[in-house]
């Protein structure tokens, strides 16, 4: 007897194993408000062209109150909401860039050099003099700029509301003799990440040196990737020395990575891995790129799930930095001077295709054979475009009977032209197997909302 069975949609990326090979690429689960399905799969945001800066590549974006700045290899630009920009000065930024600001100064470091933009004087000058040292990171706390002294366990600070440095204004995170890799300010405390441990310091107002260690907040977990450290929704995220992604809950690091993410961190150099945060229509995301593995992961803080962001041309996602500016999320391209608006209303990455793909949980009937007569997606149909690619959009499906070792040929099904709302997205005659894994791919630039998947057996 032919009967229909619902297959649960994949809700997060999984490690490739005998238990299954579920995956999500450029598509992610969003909780629904009820009805037939607890969540649906929708497409990740595209990158709509916004500004192309004359100098490239863009190293970092910085939000300063309601103002936006872009650091490129040789310039600092201010970006305006109408898509124009202004040259604010010259610099040289060859490494990964970290930025921080006080009331009137923006500091930029890249691990070798440091610069300050003075908004009162409208000038960019290089940081120098006794008391200044090369730093990977900078943060701002209570009017002081706080830097790690690269290659040591020391950190040093500027004078109050200034980038003047006193050679005596330094201290050492010495709870354990490891090097500092990144400072970050959170909840009016300075978190000092070392290679093996993490310390918490606060502004005590001491006349000699204003910062003191919080003696009750020593964290025996270090950071393996300095540029993975960032903040989101009152929490701090980082790649730990155990090669797992952690979120600080108070002073307690909680591992949030799954086996698929941890597998991509293992066996590669993660020192240049970097992260930024963003939000998309109410969902909050930690976005982590591992250049040595050529992969970008996105963690959805709302659902606790992971999925991949992937560029059609070269694998990892092209965004290197992101800020929320003028009620929109803008992102910088790591290869060019392009700055984009991240939006689900634009279904390309710049001019590149976005290939959206998901692999469903494996179908099986114990160790018995099962005949699969049909596979159907419950997807919003009739979303085709007026012309060009996507006028008559297609979904492609293939299946594996051996856990992803080998696959069938891709088979197409129509998603429906504009107005073809009753179009059924279905494939017939998938064959007989002890187990079957189904993968779906959609590359047409249309909005996606996938609620359910069904097989007839």
Distance CA 26, CA 2 (A): 34
pLDDT score at 1? 56
Distance CA 271, CA 268 (A): 9
Burial (CB count within 10 angstroms: exposed 0-12, middle 13-18, buried 19+), residue 207: exposed
Distance CA 230, CA 233 (A): 10
Which domains does the chain possess? 4-44+356-456 (2.60.120.260), 46-343 (2.130.10.10)
Distance CA 238, CA 225 (A): 7
Residue 366: CA count within 13 A, CB half-sphere: 1
3-state secondary structure 93-125: CCCCCEEEECCCEEEEECCCCEEEEECCCCEEE
The backbone region for 143, taken as left when phi is positive above 0, alpha when psi lies in -120 to 50, beta otherwise, is left
pLDDT score at 18? 53
Distance CA 65, CA 142 (A): 16
At CB < 8 A and 24+ separation, what contacts does 403-412 make? 403/18, 403/21, 403/362, 403/435, 403/437, 404/16, 404/21, 404/359, 404/437, 407/439, 410/441
Radius of gyration over every alpha carbon of the chain, rounded to an integer in angstroms: 25
Distance CA 112, CA 343 (A): 35
Distance CA 285, CA 380 (A): 25
pLDDT score at 12? 80
Coil, helix or strand for 264?
helix
Distance CA 297, CA 244 (A): 13
Question: Chain centroid to CA 190: how far?
Answer: 23
Distance CA 431, CA 233 (A): 48
Distance CA 386, CA 193 (A): 53
pLDDT score at 32? 83
pTM of the shown model: 0.95
Spans of the chain below 50 pLDDT: none
């Amino acid at each position: 007897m032919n009967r229909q069975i619902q297959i649960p949609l994949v809700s997060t990326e999984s490690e490739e194993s005998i238990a299954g090979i579920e995956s999500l690429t450029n598509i992610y689960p969003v909780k629904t408000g009820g009805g037939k399905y607890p969540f649906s799969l929708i497409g990740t945001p595209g990158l709509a062209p916004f500004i192309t800066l004359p100098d490239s590549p863009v190293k970092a974006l910085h939000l300063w109150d309601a103002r936006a700045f872009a650091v490129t290899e040789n310039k600092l630009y201010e970006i305006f909401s109408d898509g124009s920009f202004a040259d604010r000065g010259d610099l040289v930024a060859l490494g990964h860039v970290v930025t921080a600001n006080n009331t009137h100064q923006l500091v930029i470091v890249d691990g070798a050099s440091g610069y300050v933009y003075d908004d009162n004087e409208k000038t960019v000058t290089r940081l120098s003099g006794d008391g200044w040292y090369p730093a990977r990171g900078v943060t701002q706390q209570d009017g002081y700029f706080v830097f790690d002294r690269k290659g040591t366990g020391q950190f040093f600070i500027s004078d109050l509301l200034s980038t003047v440095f006193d050679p005596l204004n330094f201290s050492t995170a010495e709870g354990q003799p490891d090097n500092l890799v990144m400072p970050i300010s959170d909840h009016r405390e300075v978190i000092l990440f070392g290679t093996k441990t993490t310390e918490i310091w606060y502004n005590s107002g001491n006349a000699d040196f204003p910062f003191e260690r919080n003696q009750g907040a020593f964290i025996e977990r270090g950071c393996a990737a300095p540029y993975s450290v960032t903040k989101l929704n009152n929490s701090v995220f980082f790649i730990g020395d155990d090669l797992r992604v952690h979120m600080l809950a108070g002073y307690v690091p909680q591992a949030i990575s799954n086996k698929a993410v941890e597998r991509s961190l293992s066996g590669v150099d993660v020192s240049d891995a970097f992260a930024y945060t963003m939000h998309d229509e109410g969902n909050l995301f930690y976005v982590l790129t591992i250049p040595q593995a050529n992969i970008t992961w996105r963690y959805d803080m709302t659902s606790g799930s992971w999925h991949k962001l992937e560029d059609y041309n070269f694998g990892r996602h092209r965004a290197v930095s992101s800020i929320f500016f003028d009620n929109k999320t803008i992102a910088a391209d790591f290869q060019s001077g392009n700055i984009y608006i991240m939006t689900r209303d634009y279904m390309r990455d710049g001019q590149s295709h976005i290939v959206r793909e998901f692999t469903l949980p494996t179908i099986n009937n114990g160790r018995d054979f099962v005949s699969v007569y049909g596979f159907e997606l419950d997807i919003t149909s009739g979303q085709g475009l007026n012309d060009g690619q996507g006028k008559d959009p297609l979904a492609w499906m293939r299946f594996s009977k051996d856990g992803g070792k080998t696959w069938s040929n891709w088979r197409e099904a129509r998603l429906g032209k504009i107005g073809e709302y009753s179009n059924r997205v279905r494939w017939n005659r998938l064959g007989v197997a002890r187990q079957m894994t189904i993968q779906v791919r959609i590359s047409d630039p249309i909005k996606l909302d996938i609620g359910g998947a069904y097989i007839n057996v």
